[in-house]
Amino acid sequence: MGNGDEEQKINVGSDDEMTIVGFRRSYPKTILTWFGVFLTAGFLLIPMSWKKTILMKLTHTRCSIEDAEKVLLIDIYEQQFVEIIVRPSNKTLPSKQHTYFYNKKIKYIWDPQHSKFVKVEGLEIRNCANFHSLLDGLHTTEAVFKLQHYGKNSIFIEVQPICKLVLNEIKSPFYIYQMFIVTVWMVQVYYQFALCIVFLSMMSITATVWETRKQSKALRDAVHTEAIVTLLRDGKEVQKPSEDLVPGDVILLPQSQFIMVCDAVLLSGDCVVNESMLTGESTPITKVPVPNDPNTRFNANNNKRNVLFCGTQVMNSRSIDGTPVKAVVYRTGFATSKGELVRAILFPKPINFKLYSELFKCMVLFFVIGIPPVIYTTIIWIQLEAYTVDVIIIVVDVLTFLVPPVLPAVLTSINAHAQRRLRKHGIYCLNSRYINFCGGLDVVCFDKTGTLTEDCLDISGVVPIDDGRFERAVKHLNHLPNSPLMKAMATCHSLTKVDGKLLGHTLDVKIFEAIGWNLEEPSFDDQVPFEKVPPRIVYPKSTDFSHQPASAVAVVRQFPFESLLRRMSVVAKSQGSNHFEVFLKGAPELVCSLSRSDTVPENFKDVLEFYTRQGFRVIGVGSRHLDPQITWDEVLKMPREELERDLEFQGLVVLQNRLKPETIPTLKVLKDADIRTVMVTGDNLLTAITVARECGMVDELDSVISVEARLIAADPTVPGSKLRLQVHYDYAKLPGFSEKLNIGQNGMVDDICVIAGDGRYHMAMEGTTFNLIRLHDTQLLRKVVLKGTIFARMLPEHKLYLIETLQNLGHQVGMCGDGANDCGALKTAHAGVSLSVAEASVASPFTSTQQNIQCIPEVIKEGRATLAATFGAFRYMVCYCFVLLAAVLMLFWDGQKPSDGGYVVIDIVLNLLPPIIFGSTHAYPGLGKRAPTRSIISFLPQFSMFSFMFIQIGVYVLAYEYCLMQPWYEPFIYDKDKTHYPAASHSGTAIISVNMMSYVIAATIFAPGPPYRKNFFSNKLYTIVIILEFLLVSYLTIYPADSFASFINFKRAPFIEYHMILYALSLGNFIISFLWEVFFIQGFLFEYVVPALRRLKGPIHKFEKLELELASNVKWPPVGRYEITNVRDDFNDEDADIAISSRRSSRRHEWMRRSSELRHSMLVGLKLAKADSVEEEPEETVSFVTFREGRSRVRTGTSINSDQNFV
């Protein structure tokens, strides 16, 4: 492509994908363009500033990218950027210098080999072992060249000058229009309202510029970090400013607390890091060295436990050999994780605010509607033989009626009022435009742990295993013997000590404190009872390892918990032992699959199901003895996969995660409002189902259908056989109605189909199933997501994909979460609410200081109130403009015009203050079933506006005709020399009198009340303003003083009865308009007609059509049966890894199921739904029957009391 002028793509496949086009300066075009700018008095600059393509085509010539001076970049959101290309200045060193440009703070350099620009990121290392080859650091010469290549390690935000910010504001179409109408009014010497518009615009621009600069300065001060860093250069320790760091530098980390100034990969030692600045997760995280394994590939996303991210706080760093902890610089500047976060703030993804796009469409429509009035005005004034200049001024003046001049200020004030009210509830909004999104939410997804349930977990007990059988549950963990299970709980964690305090995940802290052990982190020169100094030593609190050496356990190596792997493990060695041990904990199903089958109890699935069905969180524990021949150094190099295999299953740790007290009532509020709620969690599926039942997401009589997908390998003996996706649907047992279905398998399936046919069922699945369906069956994905309520074992990217799928179905989706795993989903949702007060709130538009989900109804209520207020204000402003235009056009008939005083009363006194305080009415305390209309161009808002205008015009005609009927009526005589200052007339007085009441009526009937906002009278300020305006209009209509009459150019009639009749006509107009809007439109049409028409029209959104399709399909879901789909041909390696993992897990579960089928199903006489521990005596006995596939048999069993081993 380098030889032509074709377009190129950069960052292909990412959110930052852009089309790039090369241009060179054309001086003839530039001269002609500037001449055009001069001729148009600068107005040609406006479209050039709106569209960069216009600028480049008018001043440049397109060329090949290789020869370009500038490049035009167009991203996937149609945003356009023009960047200058910088070429090498030193021709003698072409190989060490690059042609480059910057875009969105990222550097792109020219790759001559491939003739394209490529993004400069960081070290291009794909193998973990290669990092260890950089231990000696860089040479000075190499560092200098790298500094030229990567740029300085600085995240510096330039605060734009005030003049530039002002220019960016005033080039908005609304401000351009305001400049136009102000110019027209100043020509007409109507300076009063023109000055008001200028004042309001200046205030708005000043506030915006001030807020922008304030935020830019705050962001600049918050993100700009400089420090002196110790690093290795030329094999020596030197100190350099942090901005001189380049990828490949080896830095030496201090032991005390410090802030990372780059992304670095840990080479030695370990660190305790607080990453709340990036993820919102305040729990300290342990970072470990990157493995020195040539077979392990490196990926920054998958190796997060080996990467110290820029901006995070390193609380402690230590090395077991006493040497400084080393890390190699991976990325610098804006390429770091912190830099990416800052870039997301500086260059946010544009959001399609449908409301604002519809407002612009309405503006265009109104200009089209304004064409007939312009023609009418032109014809009338030409017929009246007015001066040409006056005709032009009046015709142009008509254009100022078509768009409300203060509409931007009104919409801003409505959002500002909503933002202020949310702040009082402890909810902070980064972008007030998102508030409108909240008004249309119909689905809200919730994380479970820390969102629906409490953060802290209570230890209910452990269930140890002896000789392949579960023993009786033990409540007090410190009563356990010094067994592998006890050692696993003592060692398998990421805890560390900082200033004598245990830091780490709450779960790890709870378990470690419950077993009553101590943790020590010895220094290199400490005396320890091991051949080498380990990073950590644990021992029971009742002893001291120096006196009772047999009780100490050394933690030699650690693999921290990874959400992708769903487990963590350690390698440990007991004092006096000649072998190492591996301890692993994680998801019970996963630990089971990694353990030897002879060590897994036959009733493993039943016991696990027993606890998870009661809502307990269960963790599996396994261990393994390594060969005594393996040395200390060898165990440090062994691959993780080799260590985490052939485990002995040691037991289960059972924890109770209680619901937050606000969860159940809040979910009931959402359910009563017909807002669908979805649980998206990383926890066990059965636990999630039980919690969903407890919190009310799943009703007592609702059924839950568990969905499980796996891949079936192609049969090599069958020609053309392909990999297939098998999806199984089964009924999930859970406390409540489903336990009472004491029937056979066939009957159970039939009944469930009936229940499913009534729509009272929920689907539940794990993340692996969701991802397999997402990859291979789009149609099925839409179905299971539509009916899915519980999504368990979900990875962060799974949550994001779920949100996107719901959005693609036509839902307006909210997301509420509190942890690092939720950031992507929070950012993707229409309205993400973060319960974390940390910097992760940047990824979501809303942050709640209330650490519970009560904020969700508040956000939705404010969103609905804002939507209703926005639509009401829009209707009010549009009607104000058009009813005034109608009155003015009637006056034009015989050459009349409202006086400047009349315009002042109408534009400033009557119509300036009400819309500004329109949004100050509080949201309605309740949450109704129907959301407000989301489209301003829909039937009801448009019918409301135009019917109101029709009523007002009818009243004006009646007033005019009534005036003409009076015997004392004096016709108006037009004088072309007084076109702009006509004499007072009875007809003009009649029209303007009833016209002024129209604005009071509009301000009253278009101020929405219940069910979205409080009653009209609850807003005292607004009520007082409307009452004062009503009294003023009444006074001016009935009998104003001479001074007022002269000011507004009114001519009093000889009899006051005439004015009283006009006033009565205005009051009749008020009553009719009020009844029409409140009772007919908002009452009858909104409540009855529109829903009926909607039903006749049928489904509109994709999810509605799919609901209708599923309701008519009695064969889906096929409960108790399988669906099989051929896998697509472009199945890649990553998909294959998922498939293999899924198949292994499924085979293990199938083996466990068949083993369990050999035994009788048992009647369990133990209930833990309200128990505080797993061995608490039950209050009552509840029996349930286990259903199996195949021929159904109801079996009897023996009830087990609390003194027996329940397994």
289 alpha carbon, distance to own chain's centre: 33
314 beta partners: 258, 273
Amino acid at 657: N
d(CA 477, CA 492): 15
d(CA 930, CA 1171): 40
d(CA 412, CA 917): 11
The total of other beta-carbon atoms located within 10 Å of residue 1021's CB is 11
**Which has the closest alpha carbon to 1123: 718, 833, 727?**
727
User: Is 136 in the active site?
Assistant: no
**Which has the closest alpha carbon to 860: 1118, 675, 620, 652?**
675
Q: Are 766 and 1142 in contact (CB under 8 A)?
A: no
d(CA 1068, CA 1119): 64
Catalytic residue among 75, 270, 447, 606: 447
- For 188, the token pair is 């007409």
How does DSSP classify residue 336? S
How does DSSP classify residue 965? T
Through-space distance between the first and last CA atoms of the chain, rounded to whole angstroms: 70
d(CA 161, CA 215): 13
How does DSSP classify residue 682? S
Q: Cα-flanking dihedrals φ and ψ of residue 326, to 5°?
A: -110, 145
Q: Are 712 and 726 in contact (CB under 8 A)?
A: yes
Those residues with Cβ within 8 angstroms of residue 69's Cβ, 6 or more apart along the chain or in another chain: 23, 24, 25, 60, 84, 85
d(CA 487, CA 539): 9
What is the sign, positive or negative, of the torsion defined by CA atoms of 705, 706, 709, 715? negative
Tokens 């040479």 correspond to: 139
d(CA 711, CA 1125): 9
Q: Cα-flanking dihedrals φ and ψ of residue 472, to 5°?
A: -70, 145
Q: Per DSSP, which regions of 474-562 are E strands?
A: 496-498, 501-503, 517-520, 536-540, 553-562
- For 568, the token pair is 């963590």
d(CA 636, CA 632): 7
d(CA 1205, CA 655): 19
- 464 preceded by cis ω (within 30°)? no
Quote the longest CA-to-CA distance of the chain: 122
- For 583, the token pair is 């301890």
Q: Are 521 and 318 in contact (CB under 8 A)?
A: yes
Q: Are 367 and 957 in contact (CB under 8 A)?
A: no
Supply angle C-alpha 993, 998, 1001, rounded to 5: 130
Cα-based torsion angle of the residue sequence 1143, 1145, 1147, 1151 in order, rounded to the nearest 10 degrees: -170
Q: What b/e string do you get for 740-759 counting C-beta neighbours within 10 Å, with b at 16 or more?
A: ebeeebeebbeebbebbbee
Helices 767-776 and 1133-1157 pack at an angle, to 10 degrees, of 130
d(CA 157, CA 140): 29
Integer CA distances (angstroms), 130 to 126, 190, 340, 400, 894, in order: 8, 76, 25, 69, 90
d(CA 786, CA 789): 8
| Residues assigned a catalytic role | 447
